[in-house]
Amino acid sequence: MTCSLMTALCFSKTAGQLKETISKLPIVTEDDDAEEAAILLDQIGTATDGNEETRRDTSGAVAVEEAKDNEADPFGLDALIPSTVKKDERAKAKDAKKEEDFELKRHLRSQREAVITCLDIAARRYKTPWCQTVIDILVQHAHDNVQRFTSKQRDAIEKLWASVREQHVRRKQGKSVNGKLDVTAFEWLQEKYSTETISIRRAVW
């Protein structure tokens, strides 16, 4: 088996795995789009300031409530009452659920960013003839599942798909193709991903 054939098989296999990953991504919600917009457009600063104000207000309210509780129960005997224990357990369970949701969001965000990176890398190989059909199928699959990506990612995939179709039509008509796809939107996303330092936690909480 020649080296080029092995490379082609590996490329095709990787594309198949990427298609499976795309198919397993959940449908994006409006909240997902809002979080992406806040992060990519660097608007998180305002949201963070607002959250800090909310936290301060909440902290003040909590302090007042704690003072009232201390006056009503100076010896802390209420802590021994089962209902209070259950309340604490519910609070801990709620915090654990928030942490779990955050980790899931972070994981899905990382997966989508990784897929976008892979599509970008694949698109840049389009000038290689034996890559073209595999890339056609891969990009079409991403386009068919575009609802699994966030707003900016959907825009990038739409433009890439339009570019792939144009190249595909030219090949079918026997015209020459330059093997260059429109990856401008992908380049913009990659730049944002590489400089992103803001945690999703700050965008969500």
Write out the chain's pLDDT in tens, 205 residues: 576 788 888 999 999 999 999 999 999 999 888 888 887 666 445 445 555 554 555 555 555 555 555 555 566 555 655 665 567 777 787 888 888 888 888 899 889 989 998 998 888 888 888 888 899 999 999 999 999 999 989 999 999 998 888 888 887 787 766 667 777 777 777 777 776 544 444 443 3
* 115 Cβ contact partners less than 8 Å away, ≥ 6 residues apart: 18, 21, 22, 25, 142, 149
Distance, C-alpha 164 to centroid of its chain = 24
Measuring CA to CA, which residue among 134, 111, 143, 124 is closest to residue 183?
Answer: 124
Neighbouring C-beta atoms of residue 174, cutoff 10 Å: 6
CA distance 203 to 27: 20
- pLDDT at position 177 is 66
Let me know: does 163 contact 122? Beta carbons within 8 Å: no
- pLDDT at position 90 is 78
The DSSP 8-state label assigned to residue 74 in this structure reads T
Neighbouring C-beta atoms of residue 130, cutoff 10 Å: 13
CA distance 47 to 5: 52
